[in-house]
Amino acid sequence: MLYAMAKKSADDDLLAPVTLAVGQEELLLDRAVQEVVAAARAADADTDVRDLASEQLQPGTLAELTSPSLFAERKVVVVRNAQDLSADTIKDVKAYLGAPAEEITLVLLHAGAAKGKALLDAARKAGAREVACPKMTKPADRLAFVRQEFRATGRSATPEACQALVDAIGSDLRELASAVSQLVADVEGTIDEAVVGRYYTGRAEASSFTVADRAVEGRAAEALEALRWSLATGVAPVMITSALAQGVRAIGKLSSARGGRPADLARELGMPPWKIDRVRQQMRGWTPDGVAFALRAVAEADAGVKGGGDDPEYALEKAVVAIARAARSRGRG
């Protein structure tokens, strides 16, 4: 699971000769750099920081940047998109990894894919400090991120508040982190769902998850209104189909699960307990046939928004109506 700061080793040394930040989550990559720079400047306020794009590191450039200084100054050299370095420059970096200079910290940011894997392997073999910064594609990861952001500030927020913030803001980690900072700065005491609602009502109404919640509850008119608002405020259609699919699948999972306490079902189904309670309320009137009907509608909409149709908005409206009808007509359609 990924949290506010990317995952690091237990014996983490921010001033290790080489730090390798691997992944494509821009916020976490930037934080990995900021941590190293802050540690270097804490050790030497006059630390020289060179932050370079891959195309700026040409053959010979690294040797120039890491050559001994008359003033023995501390230096941090950051190389972004290291997977895009030229073959000759990669040779330079590999040679440097074998004998890194004192008082210099090299920070390599690498996407982690197959491209440039030789450099990735060489840095790992050389014992580079590694920071994992993968994209947070799962809602559960973003929820964990928000919880950790609150914990890092020493403040508490209810599970419902954290979920409401993720629902309202969406998948952009920078915006989520900024929202947490704003709430912590403005609000005293525990942050609850009502507080999040006051700050982010407009965003919450535009949320893809709001569209899904209203649809699976059979509230077609409200779902369509939320859908139009979402599209008007720039929510990507693919995010809406994803939320619709999650909503319908949650109904199907819970309806086929054994009875029991929310905590037990949460472990069995991989959902937080509070979500079990919400889905239980939403699933009234649903049948297995209704779930199957709704999932087909979502699949058709997903194909429509990914290029299989001429009008993504119409594809989404059709899916929302179908899901709401499945919720209220016991799956007949």
Whether residue 187 sits in one domain with residue 219: no
Predicted pLDDT at 153? 92
Domain contains 284: yes
- Rounded to 10°, the helix 139-152/159-169 angle is 120
* Local confidence pLDDT in tens for the 333 residues of the chain: 333 344 444 347 899 999 999 999 989 999 999 999 999 999 999 899 999 999 999 999 999 998 876 566 789 999 999 999 999 999 999 999 999 988 899 999 999 988 989 999 999 999 999 999 988 888 888 999 999 999 999 999 999 999 888 887 777 888 889 889 989 988 899 999 888 877 775 554 446 888 998 999 999 998 998 898 888 777 778 888 988 998 898 888 888 775 666 666 666 666 666 677 778 888 888 888 999 999 999 999 988 888 766 788 999 999 999 999 998 765 444
| Spatial separation of the C-alpha atoms in residues 250 and 278, rounded to whole Å | 10
Q: Is residue 330 part of a domain?
A: no
Q: What's residue 204's pLDDT?
A: 47
Residues 51 and 157 both lie in one domain: no
**150 and 127 together in one domain:** no
42 and 121 part of one domain: yes
pTM of the predicted protein model: 0.58
Shared-domain flag, residues 171 and 284 = no
For residue 124, tell me if it sits in a domain.
yes
Cα–Cα–Cα angle for 125, 128, 129, nearest 5°?
140
User: Are residue 241 and residue 264 in the same domain, yes or no?
Assistant: yes
Alpha-carbon distance 269 to 285, whole Å?
21
Report if residue 177 sits inside a domain. yes
How many CB atoms are located within 10 Å of the residue 270 CB? 10
Q: Where are the beta strands (DSSP E) in 93-219?
A: 104-110, 129-132
**Spatial distance between the Cα atoms of 310 and 50, rounded to a whole number of angstroms:** 48
Domain interval for residue 235? 204-325
Asked if residue 120 and residue 26 are part of one domain, the reply reads: yes
Domain tally, the chain: 3
- CATH code of the domain in which 98 resides: 3.40.50.300
Going by C-alpha positions, the residue among 155, 177, 153, 156 that lies closest to residue 165 is 177
5 in a structural domain: no
Indicate if 179 and 104 belong to the same structural domain. Answer: no
**Domain harbouring 280, CATH code:** 1.20.272.10
